[in-house]
Amino acid sequence: MQERIEAIADILHLTHQQNFGVAVKNIGIDVLSTANNHSMDKGSSGVISTLDALDEIGIDHTGTYRSEEEQNTILVKEVNGIRIAFLAFTYGTNGIPVPEGKEYLVNLIDEDLILEQINLAKEQNVDVICASMHWGVEYVQKQNSEQERLANLLFENGVDIIIGNHPHVVEPMEKRTITLADGTEKEVFVVYALRKFHIRTS
């Protein structure tokens, strides 16, 4: 079974050349989530080289990290006077284990980690917290109960916007008003999946 998993993982490894990052920047994208099920396809060296390349190009990133210190440094961007914190998490890494002692390499969907990252974002005195969630089931056009549960967890603890992906198809989006534990209300927005933007394997 393990050999079969490794064979499948090898087939599904995805990589991009650095010029793809340049093209992304040239069309106006300046923040990327790097937390997804392919984050560990090339091991820890792949994580690090990806982040180094993005730094060289000038694209900010969140979701994978070179150190625990970097993981605990929340990405905050100020846009038209609004301070936005960006978080990112993935359901897994296609069975490729994250090396022991280097759990900081990729933010997995873990409730304790999620709450810790949200609290770190709040400490930055931000106006908006945006979470990118790599979740759901491929080619299913509606969110499942686990996505809904996680969305509620995120919203109830301070996240304002959730951008979901992974299913490769569009899933519903929703704007709603929630009541927090202190009785106050706030508007939140979730898009469960955006579909694919671009993919090329090599």
What CATH number does residue 114 fall under? 3.60.21.10
The mean pLDDT value for 109-120 works out to 98
Given a cut of 70, whether residue 2 has pLDDT beyond it is: no
List, for residues 93-112, the tens digit of each pLDDT value. 999 999 999 999 999 999 99
Q: Are 119 and 148 contacting, i.e. CB atoms less than 8 angstroms apart?
A: no
Q: Is residue 55 situated within a structural domain? A: yes
- pLDDT at position 12, please? 41
Q: Is residue 54 situated within a structural domain? A: yes
- pLDDT at position 17, please? 60
Q: Is residue 199 situated within a structural domain? A: no
Q: Are 180 and 186 contacting, i.e. CB atoms less than 8 angstroms apart?
A: yes
Given a cut of 60, whether residue 10 has pLDDT beyond it is: no
The mean pLDDT value for 149-166 works out to 97
Q: Is residue 100 situated within a structural domain? A: yes
pTM of the full predicted structure? 0.88
Domain that holds residue 177: 2-194
b/e sequence 52-86, b meaning 16+ C-beta within 10 Å: ebbeebebebbbbbbeeeebeebbbeeeeeeebbb
Q: Is residue 200 situated within a structural domain? A: no
Q: Is residue 202 situated within a structural domain? A: no
- pLDDT at position 99, please? 97
- pLDDT at position 198, please? 57
Q: Is residue 201 situated within a structural domain? A: no
- pLDDT at position 197, please? 63
Residue 35's alpha-carbon distances to 127, 179, 181, 182, 188, in angstroms, are: 23, 29, 30, 32, 22
- pLDDT at position 179, please? 93
- Work out the pLDDT band at 20, boundaries 50, 70, 90: confident
Backbone angles phi, psi at 60, to 5 degrees: -70, 155
- pLDDT at position 196, please? 73
Structural domains counted in the chain: 1
- pLDDT at position 9, please? 39
